């Protein structure tokens, strides 16, 4: 299996630290707002990474952290006039609601930053003692000049970091690129005790400590959106190297941007769509399909026409299963012949090549085509088996049956509309006939000022 490693800038053969096991850490949400559909792309993709490793027989430990203390939460708490802890609770709940609506199963661990403060203080103290960190007025900074390898992930050079756009200006710092490890708290802000006074940890420190604590000092895969390469992941690596002498994760994977009219979708640019709003308009599987039909490292444009097309594509796949009455044969024994195996191999080959989901989806459609023309249940089984690796068909029963219910409801509404037309034309005989025929099926119509309602009275 090959994975593109941002650290080495090439596709590498994936060799797990421990045979048969893979540990994955994904930088999770900062709980200060509902997450946007660009974040959803990252969360959905790493769900597939986890899923695929499982499919290939690996034992996976998947960690996604939650940042529940940060400047952004403090700003939001002032805006909403509720305590920081309430902001965290509100948006952590929303995060779980939205990931659940997206059809993303739970991670194994969701460490909250505020539960690891003691370990963070210990790490910062260690960095200070080793000469990598310095304190000024209760704030502690990491000195990038002390780190010979700084820039190893992003390729940035220390001399280019002179108060660049993404480096905050601060007269306390020895170098403008030095980053905050501990921040002194202002009155009323969340605070914890430390050797440097009351304050809170910096974001980059949180992830080093939590990944280490749950996955060990060295683990397999660290993931996130491409915007986390610098400064977040670079600064995580700096601390890990300063502490242990080695980089904590061996493979660094980054998902591409979701653009909107060519510009990166982000909260700071205020050009985003919230995942929960998009989910009101489109099915979760259509959104998943839209993202997975492009390579995860490519930038893509948010495009509702393409989401609609994705929705239609999913409907087509479901209609094939429906026509074959798949649920009836769901538990049948599967016997894959050579032709089935060949397609399965193509799917695996695509996914083994740095998770080429776009190619994997094209294999699904090849299988769908053959399923339709051959009516071979084993192809249908293969379609479902491989589709589920990409997170499709996970609620097959409900999906195949709900759709039928929905059609029934639409048919009843259609008859009600016809009855309305007959009434308008004063064709009482036909209007009554529709009412009575529906009644004999156990469907009772009731005329109200707001229109005709119906209920099942069997
Ligand atoms: Zn992180």
Tens-place pLDDT, residues 425-454: 999 999 999 999 999 999 999 998 888 889
Ligand 1 center from residue 304 Cα (angstroms): 30
Q: Does position 376 have pLDDT exceeding 60, yes or no?
A: yes
> How far is CA 323 from each of CA 47, 368, 371, 407, 410, rounded to the nearest angstrom?
30, 12, 11, 15, 20
Ligand 1 center from residue 223 Cα (angstroms): 8
> How far is CA 434 from each of CA 17, 421, 451, rounded to the nearest angstrom?
69, 11, 16
- Cα–Cα distance measured from residue 227 to residue 39, given in angstroms and rounded to the nearest whole number: 11
Q: Does position 303 have pLDDT exceeding 70, yes or no?
A: yes
Ligand 1 center from residue 27 Cα (angstroms): 4
Domains annotated for the chain, with CATH where assigned, are 2-264 (3.40.50.620), 282-394 (1.20.120.640), 401-456 (no CATH)
Average pLDDT over residues 384-396: 96
Ligand 1 center from residue 65 Cα (angstroms): 7
Q: Does position 167 have pLDDT exceeding 80, yes or no?
A: no
Average pLDDT over residues 297-308: 94
Q: Does position 379 have pLDDT exceeding 80, yes or no?
A: yes
Q: Does position 402 have pLDDT exceeding 80, yes or no?
A: no
Ligand 1 center from residue 186 Cα (angstroms): 24
Ligand 1 center from residue 172 Cα (angstroms): 25
Count of Cβ atoms closer than 10 Å to residue 308 Cβ: 14
The reported pLDDT for the residue numbered 333 is: 85
Ligand 1 center from residue 221 Cα (angstroms): 12
Ligand 1 center from residue 143 Cα (angstroms): 19
Ligand 1 center from residue 166 Cα (angstroms): 17
Count of Cβ atoms closer than 10 Å to residue 455 Cβ: 9
The reported pLDDT for the residue numbered 403 is: 65
Distance of CA 184 to the CA centre of its chain: 33
Ligand 1 center from residue 210 Cα (angstroms): 9
The reported pLDDT for the residue numbered 401 is: 80
Ligand 1 center from residue 232 Cα (angstroms): 7
| Residues 6+ away with beta carbon under 8 Å from 267 | 33, 36
Ligand 1 center from residue 10 Cα (angstroms): 22
* Ligand 1 ion: Cβ-proximal residues, 5 Å cutoff: 27, 207
Categorize the per-residue pLDDT at 163 as very low, low, confident or very high, splitting at 50, 70 and 90: low
Ligand 1 center from residue 314 Cα (angstroms): 33
**Residue predicted with more confidence, 104 or 161:** 104
The reported pLDDT for the residue numbered 404 is: 65
Q: Does position 141 have pLDDT exceeding 60, yes or no?
A: yes
Categorize the per-residue pLDDT at 168 as very low, low, confident or very high, splitting at 50, 70 and 90: low
Ligand 1 center from residue 188 Cα (angstroms): 26
The reported pLDDT for the residue numbered 353 is: 98
Q: Does position 166 have pLDDT exceeding 60, yes or no?
A: no
In this prediction the pTM is: 0.87
Ligand 1 center from residue 43 Cα (angstroms): 13
* pLDDT tens per residue across span 194-249: 999 999 999 999 999 999 999 999 999 999 999 999 999 999 999 999 999 999 99
CA atoms within 13 A on the CB side of 133: 30
- Is the distance from CB of 123 to CB of 239 less than 8 angstroms? yes
Ligand 1 center from residue 23 Cα (angstroms): 15
Ligand 1 center from residue 235 Cα (angstroms): 10
**Bridge partners, 4 (sequence order):** 11
Average pLDDT, the chain: 93
Q: Does position 57 have pLDDT exceeding 90, yes or no?
A: yes
The reported pLDDT for the residue numbered 293 is: 96
Ligand 1 center from residue 44 Cα (angstroms): 17
Ligand 1 center from residue 109 Cα (angstroms): 14
Q: Does position 154 have pLDDT exceeding 60, yes or no?
A: yes
Average pLDDT over residues 394-409: 80
Ligand 1 center from residue 338 Cα (angstroms): 44
> How far is CA 162 from each of CA 148, 167, 172, 233, 236, rounded to the nearest angstrom?
17, 8, 14, 19, 20
Average pLDDT over residues 94-122: 97
User: Between β-strands 451-456 and 139-142, what pairing exists: parallel, antiparallel or unpaired?
Assistant: unpaired
SS3 86: helix
Average pLDDT over residues 42-51: 98
- Cα–Cα distance measured from residue 36 to residue 278, given in angstroms and rounded to the nearest whole number: 9
The reported pLDDT for the residue numbered 165 is: 46
Q: Does position 455 have pLDDT exceeding 70, yes or no?
A: yes
């Amino acid at each position: 299996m090959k994975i593109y490693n941002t650290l080495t800038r090439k596709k590498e053969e994936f060799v797990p630290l421990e045979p048969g096991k893979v540990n994955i850490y994904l930088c999770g949400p900062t709980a200060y707002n509902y997450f946007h559909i660009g974040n959803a792309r990252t969360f959905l993709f790493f769900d597939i990474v986890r899923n695929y490793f499982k499919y290939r027989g690996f034992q996976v430990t998947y960690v996604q952290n939650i940042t529940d203390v940060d400047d952004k939460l403090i700003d939001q708490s002032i805006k909403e006039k509720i305590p920081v802890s309430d902001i965290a609770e509100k948006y952590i709940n929303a995060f779980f609601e939205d990931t659940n609506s997206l059809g993303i199963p739970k991670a194994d661990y969701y460490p909250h930053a505020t539960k690891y403060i003691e370990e963070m203080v210990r790490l910062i103290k260690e960095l200070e003692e080793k000469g990598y960190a310095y304190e000024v007025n209760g704030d502690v900074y990491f000195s990038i000049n002390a780190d010979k390898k700084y820039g190893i992930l992003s390729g940035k050079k220390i001399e280019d970091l002179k108060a660049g756009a993404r480096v905050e200006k601060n007269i306390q710092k020895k170098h403008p690129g030095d980053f905050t490890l501990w921040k002194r708290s202002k009155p009323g802000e969340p605070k914890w005790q430390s050797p440097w006074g009351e304050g809170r940890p910096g974001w980059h420190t949180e992830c080093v400590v939590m990944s280490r604590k749950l996955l060990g000092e060295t683990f397999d895969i660290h993931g996130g959106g491409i915007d986390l390469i610098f400064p977040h992941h670079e600064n995580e690596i700096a601390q890990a190297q300063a502490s242990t002498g080695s980089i904590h994760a061996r493979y660094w994977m980054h998902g591409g941007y979701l653009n909107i009219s060519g510009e990166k979708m982000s909260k700071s640019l205020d050009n985003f769509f919230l995942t929960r709003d998009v989910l009101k308009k489109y099915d979760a599987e259509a959104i998943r399909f839209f993202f997975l039909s492009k390579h995860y490292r490519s930038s893509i444009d948010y495009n509702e026409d393409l989401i609609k097309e994705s929705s239609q594509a999913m409907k087509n796949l479901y209609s094939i299963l429906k026509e074959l009455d798949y649920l009836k044969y769901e538990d049948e024994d599967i016997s894959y012949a050579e032709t089935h195996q060949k397609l399965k191999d193509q799917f695996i080959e695509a996914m083994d090549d740095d998770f080429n989901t776009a190619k994997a989806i094209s294999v699904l459609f090849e299988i769908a085509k053959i399923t339709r023309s051959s009516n071979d249940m084993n192809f249908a089984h293969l379609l479902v088996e491989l589709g589920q690796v990409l997170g499709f068909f996970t609620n097959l029963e409900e999906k195949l049956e709900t759709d039928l219910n929905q059609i029934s409801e639409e048919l009843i509404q259609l008859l009600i509309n016809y009855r309305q037309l007959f009434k308008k034309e004063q064709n009482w005989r036909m209007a009554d006939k529709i009412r009575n025929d529906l009644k004999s099926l156990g469907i009772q119509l009731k005329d109200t000022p707001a229109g005709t309602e119906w209920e099942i009275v069997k």
